[in-house]
Structure 1
Amino acid sequence: MKLSDFDFDLPDDRIAVRPTQPRSSARLLLARGDDILDRVVTDLIDILQPGDRLVLNDTRVIPARLSGQRHRNSAQGPVSAAIDVTLLTPQADGAWTALIKPLKKVTEGEDIVFSDDLSATLIGKEDGQGRLKFNLTGDDFDAALAAAGAMPLPPYIAAKRAADAQDHTDYQTVWARHQGAVAAPTASLHFDQPLLEALNAKGIQFTYVTLHVGAGTFLPVKVDNIADHKMHSEWGQITHAAADAINSTTGRVIPVGTTALRLIESAAQNGRLAAWEGPTDIFITPGFKFQIADGLMTNFHLPKSTLMMLVSALMGTQNIKDIYAHALRHEYRFFSYGDSSLLLPQGE
């Protein structure tokens, strides 16, 4: 298939730069097969049935965006300059891969100071990224990063405004637990404690899995033939207990967010879910045979993105075009802080 098959025109004013408050008051487009209904997120209490299971990603977004000063010695004496860093992935040796601007002007061995407590040394460059070795590790590093870092808002929001203190709450799920993501599982941002309690009281079940969402989720597809696209890799974990719980589901298995869906489909074996720990680069496109997911709750995605391909695989390419046309006509808000959808391909 061609990349242009997943394109659509999106007015700039449809990109949400702040979430709806309270979280669960956002709009929800309900797609049951070919039927499209306009609802709100709290209507999940009526839409979902006892025995249904929501699969939730419990990754925690780290304040991965840092501003600092790089320092090195030159023939003219000490030199310093401003530098921006976005942390990407921790390495086995304790270093971090990072996006560094301007990377070309930083040489190996240079120090970057982010605060009185936090600094790092550039120890390598590869594939347009830098490798940083920080002066702190463990809890000390986490505390210093929390003090110095900002939430890594998606580029389409960061282009409109800077991250602020409110984003530390808004860009984090209420059940976030395991640190490691540099982007939020954004469909999950619509849940608050009252909604979770109401769903639990109705008999809706919850299972937590972990996929550390990487910055690669925002990378554009640069090939015309989507079969030539190389998918980014992200680390995930499904415990034995989580796999057993999902396999025992009597109702529908509905992942909340594409990250949870990609992880459970990565771990599927002959229609059953197996425990999993490690990277996944699963690329879901039309023609994919879903083994675990019966539906998906997800926000509205970027044109020509891998996530548009994923929802097209679930619902059908023409059906997704109709769903997005409806969302645009009815002024739904798009992307990470926008409204959501519940996609049920069998019309259940």
Structure 2
Amino acid sequence: MLQNRPAILIDAYSQIFRVFYAIAHLSRKDGFPTNALFGFARLLLQIEKEYAPKAGAMFFDCGKPAFRLELAPDYKSNRPPMPEALKQQMPLLRNLAELFGWNICQCTNYEADDLIGAAVKSDPQRQFAVISSDKDLSQLINEQISMLIPARSGGGFEVRDIEKTLEKFAVAPCQIVDYLAMLGDASDAIDGVPGIGPKTAAGILKDADSLEKFFAKPELVSNLKLRSKLQENEALLRRNIKLITLRTQWPDSELDPLEKVLQKRAPDWDAIADFARCYELKSVLKELPVAAEKKAATDSNAAAADTEKNNSEPAVDLFSWSSQAQSQTVQLQESTSAPGEDSPPIQGSLF
């Protein structure tokens, strides 16, 4: 458990793809897909129940950063396009986040991970908790920063702190970049050093502490075969380190000041209940605060009575939520590519 109430930073696409693929088929009676809406609503409810955050923001990717494409033209080139069913839900997912009180933050040439990294580095005295399943973000973990990883079963979140990072990877958070540089990342089309796996990479860092120290003093790695392999791939490793290292400078010229971005609002429970009723998220309605649930039930009964009386069902605007609260979206630049198309399918159970 976290000791204090941290600012919550949400890696949006990592969670959206996770819930989308965790719930294979769910739709409204008219066929409109709602699986991502359901899973995301459940996630946001769980965050409110467990942490009741007063500060935080939700971060989205905004295309591939130019500096990473210069380093590796194939960066994330192997990712499939966003499924059509998820594209249909994406505007609604953003608006659902806003109804829960989250500012949405994205910026050209910054991935969500970069903005999260810049946020935590810009305010080192504040406690942060990052909700993501992305191992790259483990490089940020320290005494003030932890990760919250949705549990694969049983609900809740697993807290990843310094100790848990050591348990999982056998390296410290400050060694994660070097560790991942050796392993590479197939999902991002980043090649690693052939023949080096997790145990070997952790062993190298145990002996040498860092790749930079190894390059300066190769004899830190006693295994001659490994030493030779690392030396032969020095250029690749240095490139990977640059690719994996997150940006730490908040883009003040393009986004609102961080303190404003982190001003989370209280959830609009009545609007969330209306949203859940519109998209037939019945179990979500049951989890809402009592007042909102009762209002939704009353409205639902009234609508049912009207339908029976008129023997017809009123047309529903599927994207009636897409224009709400746009002034609260923290974004000054648009990406030239569709949001989220660079994000991979993230498999796993929802809770």
Q: Which has the higher contact order (CA 8 A, sep 6+)?
A: 2
Q: Between Structure 1 and Structure 2, which shows a larger proportion of strand residues? A: 1
User: TM-score scaled to structure 1, two decimals?
Assistant: 0.27
Q: Between Structure 1 and Structure 2, which shows a larger proportion of helix residues? A: 2
Q: Which structure has the bigger radius of gyration? A: 2
User: TM-score scaled to structure 2, two decimals?
Assistant: 0.27
